[in-house]
Amino acid sequence: MKTKRLTLILLVAVIISACGGSAPPFDSKTPDTKNNVFHYEHLVGIGISEDVKNLYTYGDQFGIDASYYLAFNCTESTKDSIINSNQMIADSENGIGLYSSLELDWWDKEEIESLNRFVYTNENKTYFKYFWYNEESSQAYFLDFDL
């Protein structure tokens, strides 16, 4: 009887872990990995297109809030798709505010401060998405965070 119960418990645990599965780690030091593509599609909410290159991702999931950073090159068409699919609007404030303490080679705080920002926020203003795009270099930055 104990063996059947233990077998049942193990089977349930395997099924739960297979169904729930955790997200892959962020590859913040290597561009264009499968994990980075997964996080792009999950966070940006659109399938990745061939023009998306030099894709870096980083996730800070410690504490009560979470922040996810993405940087990549893309065309104007993909920029427009990101803005439209995420229901973003142009924001009169530029910059990154509290998120300027992040130190990653590919997260260019100086450049971000100079770019126009597009924003999505939920009704309660507890969940945000920011997007910046440099039309000259085709460099894009995407920040997803909650409070």
What would the pLDDT profile of 79-109 be if each residue is shown by its tens digit? 999 999 999 999 987 666 555 577 899 999 9
pLDDT for residue 92: 80
Contact (CB, 8 A) for 99 and 67 = yes
* Chain Cα centroid distance, residue 130: 10
Extract the residue ranges of the chain whose pLDDT is less than 50: 6-20
Q: Which of 119, 140, 135 is CA-nearest to residue 49? A: 140
C-alpha neighbours within 13 Å on the C-beta side of residue 37 = 10
71: nearest Cα among 100, 34, 40: 40
Q: How do the domains of the chain map onto residue ranges?
A: 25-146
pLDDT at 97: 59
What pLDDT, on a 0 to 100 scale, did the predictor assign at position 37?
A: 98
Confidence at residue 147, expressed as pLDDT on a 0 to 100 scale: 82
Nearest to 140 by CA among 43, 66, 61, 38: 43
* Residue 131: CB atoms within 10 Å: 23
Assessment of whether the complete model's pTM goes beyond 0.85? no
